[in-house]
Amino acid sequence: MEDRRVKLADVARVAGVSRASASRALNGGYGVSAEVRRRVREVADRLGFEPHGAARALATGRASAGSRERIEIVIVDPDPQALSAKPFYGRVLTGAAQALAGHDVALELKLVPAPPSVDGDPPFGRILINMPPLPAAAYARHGRNIALGASAPGVPFVAPDNRGGGHQAAAHLVTTGRRRVGAVFGPDTPCARERQDGFLRMMAGAGLTVVSAHGDFTRATAYAAAKQLLAREPRLDAIFAACDVSAMGVLQALREAGRRVPDDVAVVGFDGSALADAADLSSIFMPAEEEAASAVQHLLDPALPPPARLPTALTVRGSS
């Protein structure tokens, strides 16, 4: 009548052997007669025996089969739709999944609006995205961690060479003969500032001034900013956008203003996401997948030094 879970002892009793033999018959089967093995397995099947993972783990010392190691990807983003709207996150997952292929490690995704407190038993490792320094430091005290983008001191991180990327964009425009250059930069974040920095430095080196506006990495804002840029300098022959999504807004503004791309105006974005490819947009490729992959590799083998800065690359498409 009792509906309690069937245990090894039950199987052993029904099969008419000791628990030791039952255990051996079930695991590998070495050291038991074929007859006993067959009988025990048959009974275990019939009774629906499922070994108690914790007990097994305790007895063997090995971690239980059910509790594979796992790496958490902790994304802090107030926008619950972030994974839909920002290609970056998908690319991170791509890189992490690839680096984990063949390693029996689970990939757990945590998308949270605010930094979660350190809970339960720590995972094998964590990849921290947009994690403020304070909670990042707290995490760092429990298990291995690596951040995407600089985080708290002491927490290793991987990041793209944003400055170099900005430089590459500027160099591309200059070497293709553009002279009246506009730019829609990003918001006030380290990453956006670095891109801007690299871009302006190169332009200054080339003796060119830049007509610029600030955006927030969204299409709508970039669209308005580009219109404003055109009003300030109608002879613009190039516009740099701090991210691909912004570049889409720029393209639309140019189209509406009757400018041909790339004939009249060249456009270069930043990110190199699928969006750039789909829109035939020249863009500075940011190795998001590679960042995530090397983050995972660092977690798997902390002896490897964290790679810190990864190079970007210019991808020329139809817009420049």
* Binding residues vs a second copy (CB under 8 A): 50, 52-55, 57-58, 63-68, 70, 80-87, 89-91, 93-94, 97-98, 101, 106-111, 120-121, 219, 244-245, 248, 252, 273-275, 277-280, 288-289, 318
The two beta strands, 238-241 and 181-185, are: parallel
Does 24 bind DNA (CB under 7 A)? Our answer is: yes
DSSP single-letter state for residue 177: T
Q: Which residue, chain included where needed, has tokens 């707290």?
A: 138
- Smallest gap from Cβ 282 to a second copy, in A, equals 14
- Smallest gap from Cβ 74 to a second copy, in A, equals 12
How far is it, in rounded angstroms, from Cα 15 to Cα 122?
41
Q: SS3 for 169?
A: helix
Residue 297 binds which of DNA, a second copy, none (CB < 5-8 A, kind-dependent): none
φ, ψ for residue 88, nearest 5 deg: -55, -45
Q: Using CB atoms within 10 A of its CB, is residue 242 exposed (0-12), middle (13-18) or buried (19+)?
A: buried
How far is it, in rounded angstroms, from Cα 182 to Cα 291?
30
Query: DSSP letters of 89-126?
Result: HHHHHHHHHHHHTTS-EEEEEEEESSPPPP-SS--SEE
Closer residue to DNA in complex, CB, 36/230: 36
Does 193 bind DNA (CB under 7 A)? Our answer is: no
Among 1, 2, 18, 279, binds DNA (CB under 7 A): 18
Closer residue to DNA in complex, CB, 30/117: 30
| Beta pairing partners, 146 | 127
Residue 2 binds which of a second copy, DNA, none (CB < 5-8 A, kind-dependent): none
Closer residue to DNA in complex, CB, 45/79: 45
Residues in the chain: 320
Q: Which amino acid is at 91?
A: R
- Smallest gap from Cβ 26 to a second copy, in A, equals 15
- Are 86 and 101 contacting, i.e. CB atoms less than 8 angstroms apart? no
Residue 23 binds which of a second copy, DNA, none (CB < 5-8 A, kind-dependent): DNA
Kindly state the number of chain residues that form the binding site for DNA, as judged by CB under 7 A.
Answer: 28
Which tokens go with 209? 């001034």
Residues in contact with DNA, shown as a per-residue x/- string from 38 to 77 under the rule CB under 7 A: -----------x-xx--xx-xxxx----------------
- Smallest gap from Cβ 257 to a second copy, in A, equals 14
- Residues in contact with DNA by CB under 7 A are 5, 7-9, 17-21, 23-24, 26-27, 30-33, 35-36, 49, 51-52, 55-56, 58-61
